[in-house]
């Protein structure tokens, strides 16, 4: 009798654990969806062009939070470091196209080589497109 009761309790605990595992991804999906909606609305507002580099950094931080590989982490950190150098120059009113090209190339490596969720890859590709647009039209970028 005790053996049967113990077996029933173990099965119940196992099923309860499975229920919790299924609920966690659903909550994560809702959090993700809200985050992506907020990101998309950023580009519908005014003045986003002046903050595009900050947005790219936020996107990299978001992707980095899901990174498990040291190689993936290294590429993201390298990109953020180069982005910081570029932002420092831009804050001093110095446009440095070679530095911008390094940021674009580094972000391109993250997109090409990192293990990313499809939506994150799409997001970083969008960032790449905006950085390239900035390079082509930086004189009129306000």
pLDDT of residue 63: 93
Count of helix runs (H) and strand runs (E) in the chain: 5, 0
Tell me the two tokens of residue 75. Answer: 């590429």
pLDDT of residue 130: 93
pLDDT of residue 133: 93
pLDDT of residue 135: 95
CB within 8 A of 139, min separation 6: which ones?
none
Closest residue by Cα to residue 56 from 43, 37, 70, 72: 43
pLDDT of residue 66: 84
pLDDT of residue 46: 75
3-state secondary structure of 108: helix
Would you list the DSSP string of 64-92? HTT---HHHHHHHHHHHHHHHHHHHHHHT
Could you list the mean pLDDT of each consecutive 10-residue stretch along the chain, which spans 142 residues? 55 51 48 77 78 94 88 94 95 94 97 93 95 92 72
* Distances, alpha carbon 57 to alpha carbons 4, 15, 73, 83, in Å: 56, 41, 14, 8
CA–CA–CA angle 97, 100, 104 (5° rounding): 135
pTM for the whole structure = 0.74
pLDDT of residue 134: 93
* Distances, alpha carbon 14 to alpha carbons 7, 17, 19, 131, in Å: 11, 5, 9, 49
3-state secondary structure of 19: helix
pLDDT of residue 48: 81
């Amino acid at each position: 009798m005790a053996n049967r009761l113990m077996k029933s309790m173990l099965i119940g605990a196992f099923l309860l654990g499975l229920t919790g595992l299924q609920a966690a991804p659903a909550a994560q999906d809702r959090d993700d969806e809200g985050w992506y909606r907020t990101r998309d609305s950023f580009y519908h507002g005014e003045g986003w062009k002046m903050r595009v580099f900050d947005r790219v950094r936020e996107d990299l931080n978001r992707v980095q939070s899901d990174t498990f590989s040291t190689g993936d982490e290294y590429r993201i950190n390298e990109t953020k470091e180069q982005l910081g150098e570029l932002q420092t120059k831009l804050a001093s009113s110095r446009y440095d196209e070679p530095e911008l090209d390094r940021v674009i190339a580094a972000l391109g490596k993250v997109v090409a080589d990192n293990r990313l969720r499809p939506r994150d890859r799409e997001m970083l590709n969008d960032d790449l497109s905006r950085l390239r647009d900035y390079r082509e039209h930086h004189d009129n970028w306000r």
